């Protein structure tokens, strides 16, 4: 690169990144103003707008070829810069442009799609999950392309629009387009650091099995005065079924077979977790709960990482408005999901839960269970050079090597990348645990955003000299 | 009355009622078009409109004095015609002009506040509960006043606007205005017949204890990936608490002391219930449920009449929209109520339930329980002449004497009438069990409406000769 030393080159790139911080923030603000809520059909047009915005942005910074890949759902943005030559490694970078719904809207201090900066944070739905992280990558690519007209390695970029709805289209794309996606490593930029001083690389993720359970009783809603006592109330049955899934003392899931395939985690791995700045007091402060709670015999971070869980997310039916209404609802529906750990299989788990519920459901109701998603857990060898180089890039940008743990959240696409492409995954990101991802007042720490883009710039350079 | 015989007089009144059916229906349609939903603050103006509509109507038919009585909530309409003289008995007639909320709106075949006639039924929110029944009374008063310029007895009419929100204002009014409300009998017209051929008089009603239970965990909604397993999910706790209230095999409420004050019902009274056309097959057909269910050892009609119950009406918090969202909600809230039988005390029961829940709630959450209403059950001596005369009036209008049972629903004001006025209550009405009171597609059987007004006309005459 023009005869300058590697460190001079990097210094130029980093200086450019810092000069352009305001411009990167402005671009991110534009991106965040598009309410690209993938799970709400009312936002279908916004999804297309967000995808096109991404394409325009990547073309502007000088990526060689950028296209919109149609899927049965929301489109994928696929972009390449492959001019480093076949001797250089290829990095596939992954992010997503879709966001969670913003409800409950009333709980936001500023509107979710009108980005607002307060106290060093940018508030907006998607700020942290994942538009801000995607734009940190874009800023790094821009810095290399703008200063030196090239990237240190070949880069392929995948930005999908269905991360919040199970990545159906991208999963198919990855499974069928293994040639086009061929790479030496996959960098997934869609997760959180532990603190602004503690970067984190996930050497696996929990899977997920999301169910919707409906209990149907009377043909229509009934008055509990006239019929109360004579007929089954679907809510009364539903709460018994839900309560049976987990015991209240040990907080163990009571579905037979649920723990059969849970991988035994050895003491070394538990020590690795224990070394992270995530003791129970830290976690309790993060949640603001009166006290932590969970499966007996494990620390809070273990319960949120290497142990499976069961969480109810919502229950609908009947009457929940102001005041009181004495209705026996025709039906009641619960949404719940289980986070699964290696080597649990989400399809097996779904079957076990459904069987368990069916055995208990009385003949006085009908029971429907729908599997809304089933994503496998992932386990990665974190000792490979492509992963370790990422930790070192964090050290350069943030002043600290990354910690390593299995992530509690689910990245449905990670298992597909691993199996279809056979390349090591680097699952990391620049969010923070208190970013309110999936909750009101989502935010992005601006320092993490700027340093995150520097980490990417360093990582591209480091991969150029990977063995 | 102009020297005609009593039966000629009645024939004239009934003939007038039949001539005016279309006009009465038109008036009822007007009344039903006012969305007087008492529990929704957004409908406060509609409540005032409905009260004034009632006043105008009563003045038009010739009631001597009609006034709007302000309360802390929605106003009471109080109307009198006392020109029969002090030698004649006074009947206090009760009804209400407020209605239940219309949700779920989407389930209505025609709009809830645009009355629509199909197949001999009038569909609208409030058609049966209770505007249609009130207008049957108004039609009968109108027929007497129009044909003979007078009523056979003195009549006081109370039409309240808070029946669906616990009658707070009227209960105070009844307790403090015992002089103005002095009467020889109270006719409450706000319930149902068994079938169009089987009138029904209630010799009591179940009480009610309505609770709102909130479990609070984390300070704000959390992502179940990041925090699932580490922190208590308020839903998981809430379903365990709710499930503990009733056992799934015997369907008995498990709160200690709950059954202690339940009156023992002797075989004679159980036979009275068994003689009604309400066997299990009939009840199952009414509900459209796959099968009936309830407390072991009792028939369905017993469970809906002389036995207490517990019904969950709605559970809120978290996410219930389309798709899936993996949220651990900051809080989860359930609405539930218990129907209580003589001699259970709703305040005692509320305390027992709250204590029971508090003993079980883990220290990892905070628990709030609010009593939304507490209404005592009522028991009446149905052998007194004022009650028996009503049964005979039914025979004249509908061709059948009334059956007698303890009603499953709750009329909070009934206990106040009984205690404050010391007069026998006649709790009856012209609704039907399939009228969808409190549910979408509420309707009123037009034949019941017309015959109901005739029953009232007969009853007024019969009371004139009560011993």
Give domain status of residue B159, yes or no. Answer: yes
> How close does chain A come to B247, measured CA to CA in Å?
9
Which residues of chain A does B244 touch, with a Cβ-Cβ cutoff of 8 Å?
A: 243
- What is the Cα Rg of chain A in Å? 24
Q: Do A427 and A367 have their domain in common? A: no
Which residues of chain A does B339 touch, with a Cβ-Cβ cutoff of 8 Å?
A: 224-225, 228-229
Contact between A127 and A220 under an 8 Å Cβ cutoff? The reply is no
- Whether B268 has a pLDDT exceeding 90, the answer reads no
Residue of B104, B230, B368 to mutate for A, most A C-beta atoms under 10 A? B230
Determine which helix (DSSP H) or strand (DSSP E) holds B209, and give its type and residue range. Answer: strand B207-216
Q: What is the CATH number of the domain that holds B332?
A: 3.30.70.360
- Whether A305 has a pLDDT exceeding 60, the answer reads yes
Q: Do B234 and B213 have their domain in common? A: yes
Confidence band of A99 (pLDDT split at 50, 70, 90): very high
Give domain status of residue A271, yes or no. Answer: no
Per DSSP, the three-state class of B392 is: helix
Q: Could you tell me which of B235, B196, B467 has the C-alpha nearest to residue A293?
A: B235
Q: Does B309 touch chain A (CB under 8 A)?
A: yes
pLDDT of residue B437: 87
What span, in angstroms and rounded, lies between the C-alpha atoms of A163 and B156?
A: 67
Mean pLDDT within B234-239: 97
Percent of chain A with pLDDT over 90: 88
Q: Do A366 and A253 have their domain in common? A: yes
Structural domain count, chain A: 2
The arrangement of strands across the sheet holding A207-216 comes to A311-316, A331-340, A207-216, A366-375
CB contact under 8 A, A364 and B328: no
Q: Do A371 and A381 have their domain in common? A: no
- Whether B7 has a pLDDT exceeding 90, the answer reads no
Q: Which residue of B has its CA nearest to A334?
A: B320
Mean pLDDT within A346-355: 98
Query: Cβ neighbours of residue B286 under 8 Å, at least 6 residues apart?
Result: A227, B433, B434
Query: Cβ neighbours of residue B220 under 8 Å, at least 6 residues apart?
Result: A107, A288, A436, A439, A440, A441, B330
pLDDT of residue B4: 67
Q: Does A69 touch chain B (CB under 8 A)?
A: no
Q: Which of A225, A327, A439 sits opposite B223 (nearest CB)?
A: A439
pLDDT of residue B357: 98
Give domain status of residue B211, yes or no. Answer: yes
Q: What is the CATH number of the domain that holds B196?
A: 3.40.630.10
Q: Does B239 touch chain A (CB under 8 A)?
A: yes
> How close does chain A come to B194, measured CA to CA in Å?
11
Mean pLDDT within B398-413: 92
Q: Do B47 and B182 have their domain in common? A: yes
Domain containing residue B324: 207-262+308-375
Interval B347-390: pLDDT, tens: 999 999 999 999 999 999 999 999 999 989 999 988 899 999 99
Query: Cβ neighbours of residue A351 under 8 Å, at least 6 residues apart?
Result: none
Q: Please state the ipTM of this predicted complex.
A: 0.81
More confident residue, A122 or A465: A122
Mean pLDDT within B448-452: 98
Give domain status of residue A104, yes or no. Answer: yes
Q: Do A93 and A153 have their domain in common? A: yes
Q: Do B254 and B162 have their domain in common? A: no
Which residues of chain B does A366 touch, with a Cβ-Cβ cutoff of 8 Å?
A: 290
Q: Could you tell me which of B93, B229, B186, B219 has the C-alpha nearest to residue B415?
A: B186
Interval A401-452: pLDDT, tens: 999 999 998 888 999 999 999 999 999 999 998 899 888 999 999 999 999 9
Strand B425-428, strand A154-160: pairing: unpaired
Q: Could you tell me which of A433, A166, A432, A209 has the C-alpha nearest to residue A313?
A: A209
Q: Do A68 and A179 have their domain in common? A: yes
The last residue of a domain, from among A321, A346, A375: A375
The last residue of a domain, from among A375, A390, A419: A375
What span, in angstroms and rounded, lies between the C-alpha atoms of B246 and A112?
A: 42
What does each C-alpha distance from B391 to B382, B400, B404, B409 come to in angstroms?
10, 8, 9, 20
Q: Do B57 and B138 have their domain in common? A: yes
pLDDT of residue B466: 80
Q: Does B319 touch chain A (CB under 8 A)?
A: yes
Mean pLDDT within A325-335: 95
pLDDT of residue A4: 67
Mean pLDDT within A47-53: 98
Token output for B303: 């469970």
The last residue of a domain, from among B375, B392, B419: B375
What does each C-alpha distance from B70 to A428, B138, B180, B295 come to in angstroms?
65, 22, 16, 43
pLDDT of residue A325: 87
pLDDT of residue B2: 44
Residues 142-201 of A with CB under 8 A from B: 165, 192
Contact between A127 and A61 under an 8 Å Cβ cutoff? The reply is no
What span, in angstroms and rounded, lies between the C-alpha atoms of A157 and A145?
A: 15
Give domain status of residue A288, yes or no. Answer: no
CB contact under 8 A, A313 and B301: no
Give domain status of residue B291, yes or no. Answer: no
Mean pLDDT within A216-236: 93
What span, in angstroms and rounded, lies between the C-alpha atoms of A36 and A163?
A: 11
Percent of chain B with pLDDT over 90: 88
Per DSSP, the three-state class of B245 is: coil
| Average per-residue pLDDT for chain A | 95
Token output for B7: 């039966």
Contact between A185 and A459 under an 8 Å Cβ cutoff? The reply is no
| Average per-residue pLDDT for chain B | 95
The distance of Cα A457 from the centroid of its chain, to the nearest Å, equals 23
Q: Do B217 and B151 have their domain in common? A: no
Among all chains, which residue has been given the structure tokens 């919040």?
Answer: A164
> How close does chain A come to B169, measured CA to CA in Å?
16
CB contact under 8 A, B323 and A39: yes
Q: Do A245 and A328 have their domain in common? A: yes
Give the orientation angle of helix A132-148 with respect to helix A446-464, to 10 degrees: 50
Q: Does A365 touch chain B (CB under 8 A)?
A: yes
Mean pLDDT within B101-116: 95
Mean pLDDT within B75-90: 97
Q: Do A131 and A230 have their domain in common? A: no
Q: Name the H helices within B267-375.
A: 267-274, 280-287, 300-303, 346-360
> How close does chain A come to B54, measured CA to CA in Å?
25
- Whether A398 has a pLDDT exceeding 90, the answer reads yes
CB contact under 8 A, A40 and B323: yes
Mean pLDDT within B63-74: 97
Confidence band of B6 (pLDDT split at 50, 70, 90): confident
Give domain status of residue A276, yes or no. Answer: no
Q: Does A262 touch chain B (CB under 8 A)?
A: no
Among all chains, which residue has been given the structure tokens 């339940």?
Answer: B262
Confidence band of B411 (pLDDT split at 50, 70, 90): confident
Give domain status of residue A285, yes or no. Answer: no
What does each C-alpha distance from A86 to A63, A83, A89, B21, B64 come to in angstroms?
17, 8, 7, 91, 101
What span, in angstroms and rounded, lies between the C-alpha atoms of B122 and A216?
A: 28
- Whether B1 has a pLDDT exceeding 90, the answer reads no
């Amino acid at each position: 690169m023009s005869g300058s030393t590697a460190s001079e080159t990097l210094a130029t790139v980093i200086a450019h990144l810092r000069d352009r911080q305001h411009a990167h923030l402005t671009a991110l603000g534009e991106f965040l103003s598009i309410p690209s809520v993938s799970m709400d059909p009312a936002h279908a047009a916004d999804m297309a707008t967000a995808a096109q915005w991404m394409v325009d942005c990547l073309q502007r910074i000088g990526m060689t070829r950028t296209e919109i890949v149609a899927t049965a759902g929301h489109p994928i943005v696929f972009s390449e810069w492959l001019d480093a030559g076949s001797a250089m490694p290829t990095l596939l970078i992954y992010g997503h442009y879709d966001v969670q719904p913003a409800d409950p809207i009333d709980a936001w201090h500023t509107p979710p799609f009108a980005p607002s900066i307060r106290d060093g944070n940018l508030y907006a739905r998607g700020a942290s999950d994942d538009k801000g992280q995607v734009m940190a990558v874009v800023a790094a690519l821009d810095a290399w392309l703008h200063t030196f007209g090239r990237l240190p390695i070949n880069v392929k970029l995948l930005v999908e629009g269905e991360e919040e709805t199970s990545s159906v289209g991208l999963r198919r794309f990855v499974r069928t387009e293994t040639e086009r996606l061929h790479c030496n490593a996959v960098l997934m930029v869609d997760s959180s650091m532990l603190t602004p001083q503690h970067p984190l690389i996930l050497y696996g993720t929990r899977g997920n099995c999301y169910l919707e359970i409906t209990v149907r009783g009377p043909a229509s809603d009934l008055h509990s005065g006239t019929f109360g006592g004579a007929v089954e109330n679907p809510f009364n049955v539903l709460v018994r079924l839900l309560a049976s899934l987990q015991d209240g003392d040990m907080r163990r899931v009571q579905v037979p077979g649920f723990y059969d395939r849970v991988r035994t985690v050895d003491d070394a791995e538990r020590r690795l977790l224990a070394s992270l700045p995530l003791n129970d007091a830290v976690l309790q402060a993060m949640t603001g709960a009166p006290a932590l709670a969970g499966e007996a015999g494990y620390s809070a971070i273990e319960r949120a990482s290497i142990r499976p869980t069961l969480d109810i997310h919502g229950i609908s039916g009947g009457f929940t408005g102001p005041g009181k209404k004495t209705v026996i609802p025709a039906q009641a529906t619960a949404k719940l999901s289980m986070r699964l750990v290696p080597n649990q299989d989400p399809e097996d788990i779904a079957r076990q839960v459904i069987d368990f519920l069916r055995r208990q459901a009385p003949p006085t109701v009908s029971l429907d269970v729908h599997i809304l998603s089933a994503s496998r857990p992932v386990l990665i060898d974190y000792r490979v050079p492509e992963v370790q180089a990422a930790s070192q890039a964090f050290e350069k940008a943030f002043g600290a090597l990354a910690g390593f743990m299995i992530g509690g959240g689910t990245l449905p696409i990670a298992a597909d990348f691993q199996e279809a492409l056979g390349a090591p995954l680097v699952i990391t990101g620049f969010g923070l645990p208190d970013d309110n991802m999936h909750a009101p007042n989502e935010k992005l720490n601006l320092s993490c955003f700027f340093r995150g883009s520097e980490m990417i710039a360093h990582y591209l350079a480091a991969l150029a000299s990977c063995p």
